Structure formats: structure tokens, C-alpha cells
Structure 1
Amino acid sequence: MTAELSPQPLDAFLRSVASTTYEEARRLPGAAVASSRDFDEIQAYVIDLYTGVDAVESYVETDGQVVDCIPEDAHPAARRWGGLAVAPDQGPPEPTESDEPTTPGPRSPDPGSRDVVSPPQHDVPAARAAPAGTTPLYRTTLSALCRYPNLAASSAKERPLGLAGTEAPAAALGKRYATGEQNLPCLGGASRINVWNPFAAASNQSTFSQQWYYAGLEGPVLQTVECGWHVDITMYGDAAPHFFVFTTRRNYEAGHSFYNQAGQVFQPVSNPYVRPGAPLAVSQSGGTQVEYKMGFYFTNNAWWLYFDDHAIGCYPAAWFDNGPMATHATRAKFGGEVGTLITQWPPMGSGRHASAGFRQAAYQRVATVNPVSGGAAHATLSDAGSVSGPCYSLQITNNSGPDWGSYLFFGGPGGDNC
């Protein structure tokens, strides 16, 4: 039996953070921090994050990430919002099934066969329970943040992913999509997201399967809540797909846009079923398909994130500064996204085109929306201007019945001139 790894104690870790110099930080693996001033900002951020924080217990996850179990009131988001989140009494409503589906879906996976989907809790590595009165927190390290040119770049979804000194605007990161969307006033939605592990080049590419809920599309301030999985080697230090949550309250601008626990914006419950940033199990081509149900629901004055029907945390309405997302969204979108700073575009989904179908191509199924009028319904999706041709493709089927509902297959190998 392999012995459990022992992490550096939190107090010793913080002393090492305080004593690290810019020259030492530049020699960290994958370091891209642009200047001494940028390093000072990163160092101050980490020290401030842990001010007054003691770890009751620390351990190393199976993927190598360190988790500190800290008193609940010491969690950075609890300090920002006056406590950790308390889960709503009721979860989001489920869609009402129509008697006559428009189109039959693919053969539904049999839960009793080897094609089992929606893995149980123990297949989510971040599900280990924290001691009573504490909550788990992924450790934020200098080595992780110094893989970016500056602090702002570490949490911007539209960030430039270049090397140290890169000053390119956010628009320099090219984006391509294969997505379906529906415009309607809504309180969120959900889907079952199929997980793969496509290749992405370190520091220059990103690849996602996700949901977006938008408001302010026609106004001066665009706001979103987003969730799904992505491959981001710069962020996590590995090439595995990780569960993520993201928000912007102002047009994807730095300082107003954050991933996971960055910015202390996402307010978790005290002992969540899974934490944003957790690595996920992966589907096998031609074999077992792995999927997780996730989505947002606006209730109790917050955008609540659900993962496999567990409430794991929220974005309080106050985060949106009385903006459009402080009450509801106006668009729901589902599908794949890739980004690159080099001429080669990364694979999306499984790397196979939508036409490859079940067990080969990436999918999202049972895509639902929650209208502001109440209840839930299968989404009625239309192509959101997706890239077509040899790089990526999309196939949408609406209202196929209870097992697949509204679903999309999407993805492709990427390549040149996408």
C-alpha cells in the first residue's frame, strides 16, 4: 500500500512564501512572472489570503494538490461574504417530460452495464470530508501563480496565455466555439456533461466543455456565471480535465472576472461534495462514458452551483453590483470552446467530430433551462455561430425524450486555419 504524502505545514508554507525573492520565483518550474513588481503583487496576494488562517489538518489529493482544512469562519470567501453559504432547502426543478418526443435520442447508457455514467462520489477526488467545524481549501501557491505574467492573468478567462513579458490584449487569445444557445429570461439551467481529456499545449492553448448563463448582452455591462470542465496546464500544472466555475461581472475585465476560489467571490458551503478545481474522471473511446450533471439556479438571492444534484456554493447577487445578473439571465448556452495563441488550434471535446456519435464524440445531454416564470424545460437550442469545416463541428437535437432530452454532440481535432 502506498503511504499517504505529507504536505508542508501551512505555517511553514507561509514563511517560505514571505521569504521567496523575485529571482527565486523566476526559477520556479514554468515561471512566467513578468517583473519584480508583478511578483510583489502575487506574493502579497498569497500572504493576505492566509492572514489569520490556521490549518487543523492538511493533506495531499491524489492529483498532487494540497488541501488545508481551516476553520469555517477563516475561509477567504467567508470573510468576504460574512460566512459560508447555506444550501437552499430545495434544489432546482426538473423538466416536465412531453408525451411525444420530437426525435429519439441515441441509445441510452444502461446504468447496469459497463457503460455506467455519472460516477459516484468516490470518483471525484476532491470529495474527502473535512473535520467538523472546518472547511477544505485548495492551497494557493507561488509556483502556481508565477506561471502567469501577473496576478490579473491568473483569473481572466480571456487572458493572453503567452510567456513572461507578454503584454498582448485579451483579444489576442483566439477563440472558437461549437455551441447551442437559447435566448430567454431564465434562472439558470443544467446539463449532463461528458468528460474527455483532449490535448492542449502548455501556456498557449485551452479547451473547454461548459455552460454559460448571460445577461447584459445588448448593454454596456456583460455578466455571466459559467461551469464545466477544462484543460488548462498553466492553471493546474497538469493536463487533466478539471471541474471549474467562473464569473465575470464586467465584460471579462481583469479584477472583475474569476475562476474557482480566486478573488474570494465564489462562496462555498461548509463541506462541499466537490470543490471547483477538482480533477475529473475521463471517458474511454469506444467504452465507458463519464458524465457529471451540473448547472446553476438563481434562488435565495444567489446563483447556486449544483454538481450531481448537490449544492456546492454560490455567487451572491451582491457580486453583480445591481447589474443584469443580479436577478436573472437572458441567455443559456451549452457546448465547447477552445483558445490558442499559436497557429495550431487544439482539439475540442474528445478530438472527434460530432458525427462520430456516442462513445466517440463529446456530448452534453438533458440540457435544461429554468424560465423566470417557474419550473424547468428542455432547452430549445440553436447553433450559436459555431465553427464548421475540418476543425470542429456541432450536431443539436432538441426534445428527444426523457433520457437525452435536448442534447448536442460537438468537437473536432483542431489544426491549422480553423
Structure 2
Amino acid sequence: MYAPTPPIICIFFLFFLLFTPVFPIQDVKNIEAKYKSYNSSTESKKMKLINDLLKKINKPFVKSIKSPDGDIIDCVLIHLQPAFDLPQLKGSLPLDPPELPIPNGHEQAEKESEIKQVWSSNGESCPNGTIPIRRTTASDILSSSSISNFGKKIRPDSLATHEYAVGTVGEGVYHGAKGVFNFWKPNVTGVNEFSLSQMWLEYNVPNRLLNTIEAGWMVYPDLFKDNGSPRLFNYWTPDDYKTGCYNLLCPGFVQTTNKYSLGGVLHPLSTYDGTQYIISIFIFKAKTGDWWLHMGDTVIGYWPSSLFPDLCNNATDVHYGGEVISNIDLKHTSTQMGSGHFPEEGYKKAAYIRNLEVVDIEYSLKPASNLKLVNTDSNCYAVTSGFGEKWGNYIYFGGPGNNPKCP
């Protein structure tokens, strides 16, 4: 049955027709065009910034290698790597490695296996006079929180939570540190989260900005756009993480070897209750003030003394262990540290760093004794220490993150 329209609705409808602005079709098209133009201009500026950064990072190469894991490795002439964009290094050549500090004669637990990376697993290599650099893509940069933050560590004072399980050597004067790491593939679950096992050397005193150099292995899917593979890495900052970067993603570290790629995937991996694969990491300061990085029997390269206002003299602190970033608010992240198992499970089940040593003021290697154990929450990630005849001073560390005791 037809019902007459109530008068009040008619009045309202008439009012709506009279006072609602009507845009001509051409005006609507102009608005759309301006909107598209604005977006296009913004995207164009962003892509220009990205392309400018890619030109700084990705250098001309003499050979390119497609790795089975999807990475592209460029063989770049050693004097064209990013570090030589620094004004103080421009036009110079890499330094020759200095003499190693005097060893203390500690016997190793077993012969160290050669570090292997996926990109060279099929017999590929970079020619002498070049270094292998993992190619950076636009999608790598777009995954960062901002273009300016790409390749930088998320600062501890940011919204992200940094969690640690480490052994710390007492404050002093140090010219180096050494340790043997087993490496794993911990599960990393959250956006922009990572899990790493490393050695830190810091200059950390009141009223001075933190200087630090770091090296080890890490899983960082958002930085490397991968499925969570463990990768070789180093890091540096002269100013409490305001500047500095991972690997060769900014001018700084000078790589000298053509054997390994910083950021390259490690293989094979340690397995639970199975074979353990290790890397030996040694960082020491030459008398020139440059800090040299060795992995196994290979000299990887050095951090020039000119990068640091204070660390060029000595380190004040040495740390060994694991670090995880958690970006989850309502519950604890399930990102694992180390093997994902607590240190109490021990050998073949938990992550370790053994044969811990430091280089003293006399440039001698000595045991890293009197370790202070520090962790943010032992219910999530923990650390233990011990001493053995062949292992010297050592730590076990790690954990699963979220669990009934760490909700």
C-alpha cells in the first residue's frame, strides 16, 4: 500500500537540495588531478631519495653472482667500496693487516671448521682485488621505518624493547676481544624484530657519546628481506647509534677479503642435539688506532680510527651474548634468542660463546675472567657462565621468548 511522504521529510529533502554544494564535473576532475599530482610528486621525491641512496651503496662491479638463496653478490673493486667515499679515506688504499696480539696458548676444543656462505657454495668467488658486497634493492630500503634509518640499528631508547642475555667483562682498558660462537637459526616473529649473537667492544664513560663496534651472526628478516637465515654481520657507531650502520650499508668499515660477504648467509647450521658449527671472531686494535676484524683464519677488514672520537684509543667494556628486539605490546614476543632454548640445556642444545678472551693494555690475550652476567628477564632469555680446561671461560645463553613464565 502506498504511504504518503511525511511533510517533515519533504522539507528536509528540499533543504538538502538547496544548500548542499554541487561541484561541476570539471572541478571534480581538477581535484582528482591535483590529488594524483601530489601523490605522484611525493612518490617521485621518495624514489629519488631511494635511488640516490642505492647509488651510494651499490658500487660498479666487475662480476655479479646470483646466490642460491636469492641474494645478488657484486664483486666490487676494493678501492671503490663505500668506505672510500669518506673524505678522510678518499683516494687512499686499504691498509695491510698488523701483527696479531700475543696469544696465551689456550688449546682449542676442536679444530675450527671453515666458515661457509651460501653465495659461494657452488664454487663461485670474487676475483682478487675485489670484495663481495650483497646488493641492496629498493624494497630493502622501503622496509625500513624511514629512508634515513636504513641500515641503522633501532636505538635502545626507541619504542622497541631491546632484551639482552650477556656476559660482561669488568670495566677496564681493552684493545680487543675474542670468542668462538656456535650459530643457529632462531625464529624471528615480529615486524622489524631481530635476534643476534655477538661481541661488543665499547667506549662508554659518563658525559661522552657511546662508541661501539660489534660483530657476530644475526637473523633479521626485515632488513634482509628473507625467510630468517642467519647472516654474518658487523656494526659500528661513534655517537650512541645516531650514525653508523650494519656491514657496508654506509661509508665506514673497510673490507679487505674477497672470501666472505658481510650480510651473507651462513651454512650449514647447528642442530639441536646434533652437529655444532662454529665461527671464531677476533677484534683487536692496532697501534694505529684502527680496529681489525678476524673471522676464523681470515682478516675481514677494519674500522678506521678516524670513525671514532674515543674508541680509537681503547675500549672500556666488552660484552658477549645475545640481543633481541621486541615490538609486541600486549604480550612478549615469541622471537627466539640463540637456539631458542635456555642455557641450562647445555651443549648441543643451547647457544654458546666459548674461549672468551680480551686483549689487555700490553697487547696480550688473556682470559676474560670475572664475567658479570646481565639479562633483562631470565624467564624469557637467560645466561649462565662456566670454565673448562679446553673451553676456557664460556657462556651459554638464549631462550624462547614467550612461554608460560614469560607471557
TM-score normalised by L of structure 2: 0.80
Deviation at 1:309, TM superposition (A): 2.7
Equivalent residue number for residue 280 of structure 1: 266
Q: 2: CA distance between counterparts of 1:226 and 1:313?
A: 13
Equivalent residue number for residue 207 of structure 2: 219
Q: 1: CA distance between counterparts of 2:305 and 2:110?
A: 40
Partner of 1:47: helix, strand, or coil? Answer: helix
Cα deviation, 1:99-148, whole Å, max 9, x if unaligned, reads: xxxxxxxxx8655xxxxxx4325x23355532244332221211211111
Q: Is the 8 A contact 1:202 1:234 kept in 2?
A: no
Q: 2: CA distance between counterparts of 1:304 and 1:396?
A: 27
Deviation at 1:373, TM superposition (A): 2.1
* Alpha-carbon distance change, 374 to 73 in structure 1, aligned in 2, over 3 angstroms: closer
Q: 1: CA distance between counterparts of 2:109 and 2:300?
A: 27
Partner of 2:55: helix, strand, or coil? Answer: helix
Q: Is the 8 A contact 2:71 2:119 kept in 1?
A: no
- Provide the aligned C-alpha RMSD in A: 2.5
Q: 2: CA distance between counterparts of 1:267 and 1:40?
A: 27
How many percent identity over aligned positions?
A: 26
Q: Which runs of 5+ in 2 are unaligned?
A: 1-35
Once the two structures are superposed, the pairs formed by residues 17-416 of structure 1 within 5 Å of their partners are 37-50=45-58, 53-80=59-86, 81-82=89-90, 83-97=92-106, 118-121=112-115, 123-126=116-119, 128-159=124-155, 170-182=157-169, 183-238=171-226, 239-253=228-242, 256-269=243-256, 271-281=257-267, 282-299=269-286, 300-320=288-308, 323-342=309-328, 343-345=331-333, 346-398=335-387, 400-401=388-389, 403-415=390-402
Deviation at 1:258, TM superposition (A): 0.6
Q: Is the 8 A contact 1:42 1:150 kept in 2?
A: no
Q: Is the 8 A contact 2:62 2:76 kept in 1?
A: yes
Deviation at 1:156, TM superposition (A): 2.1
Q: 1: CA distance between counterparts of 2:104 and 2:47?
A: 49
Q: Is the 8 A contact 1:96 1:377 kept in 2?
A: no
Q: 2: CA distance between counterparts of 1:263 and 1:149?
A: 17
Q: Is the 8 A contact 1:180 1:381 kept in 2?
A: no
Q: 1: CA distance between counterparts of 2:110 and 2:373?
A: 31
Q: Which runs of 5+ in 1 are unaligned?
A: 1-22, 27-33, 99-107, 112-117, 160-168
Deviation at 1:41, TM superposition (A): 2.2
Q: 1: CA distance between counterparts of 2:327 and 2:84?
A: 36
2:344 maps to amino acid: S
Deviation at 1:284, TM superposition (A): 0.6
Cα deviation, 1:239-293, whole Å, max 9, x if unaligned, reads: 011111001100111xx12100011211111x33312111112101001001100
* Alpha-carbon distance change, 354 to 132 in structure 1, aligned in 2, over 3 angstroms: closer
**Which one is further off, 378-387 or 352-361?**
378-387
* Alpha-carbon distance change, 143 to 327 in structure 1, aligned in 2, over 3 angstroms: same
Larger radius of gyration: 2
Q: 2: CA distance between counterparts of 1:84 and 1:137?
A: 18
Q: 1: CA distance between counterparts of 2:217 and 2:177?
A: 16
Partner of 2:174: helix, strand, or coil? Answer: strand
Aligned length: 353
TM-score normalised by L of structure 1: 0.78
